[in-house]
Structure 1
């Protein structure tokens, strides 16, 4: 199915762009945590490849692409080099990083869903793995950095929800036999735009109804 939606060369190029941007977010967090160059590399690789590795292991696509294509491993290291030497400048273009991160989120949730379905999973299970593909690396990054994962925190702009919407759109298209290049691109764009709107207007998921917790809220 993936081959029908995207050409192999285009899919590979988009994959590498998404991996690069995700790696930058991991490397920047490592710098903020005052980690050394090895720590920066670990967080960058984990952020960039974590979601895809988990998906591939679950669906039996082994060895995962990250271990068979050198580009998947080297691309995060390029992001490490960029952040290591130029992190003050990279921090100043955070809006651009967020833009490409949102694009990677949209692409990965769609590609992850379609790939899972190609390996025999149901549409619902495929959507779940599409979500994991898009956000799993960020969860691994935050856990390694000893932080509550961003997608679980109420004070962070919506991240998982746009990916859920994109993956669900793909799953519905699969169910109704309507998945093609146009509908998959529409799912990518929808997740991408939702994430940008969440960043622009600080959309956040609601907390528990009539919440009365006395726990101190994190800044």
Structure 2
């Protein structure tokens, strides 16, 4: 490696590596065999990211929306209530009496199972529960979509951030980053947090760096 990439902190270059290389080296695809809810084995592939790779990310990850859990629950309630309304609340109700010459097909008679009064309370309200849960599910889906669109709009300048990010050099010995021959930037060693602030500010989402602080995995601080 050229001496021009020597760390300005320790003056050595044997443990200096380009930031993109360090970032990619800390992101591995791990494949495992797991059982689903039905007990069947399936192959699942997940991306495992090291703390250092996460700290050097040129763009923040998409935020996790806890509201999505509400949408999942309301969707479950919607389906469960609808099935209960159709097969329990409405399926046992007998239709109008049809004469033999009416030409229409009569609905099946479930009187052998008893009348709805004998079987329990009226479950007609489940139709309203299903409709309400469906409305909540649709609202949650709309809100999640809106938030994702807003996040994509906020990080639309990631190309500029990645251009600066790609010119950073990380010293594994010092745990700092420095730039080489970048206009407007000196060679002073930067903490991971300061490096994140510079890169994310270049992309136009620098305010997120104050919320999602970069933590040095070797030192446990930003």
Smaller-chain TM-score bracket: under 0.3
TM-score, normalised with respect to structure 1: 0.25
- Compute the TM-score of the two structures, normalised by the length of structure 2: 0.25
Which protein has the bigger helix share? Answer: 1
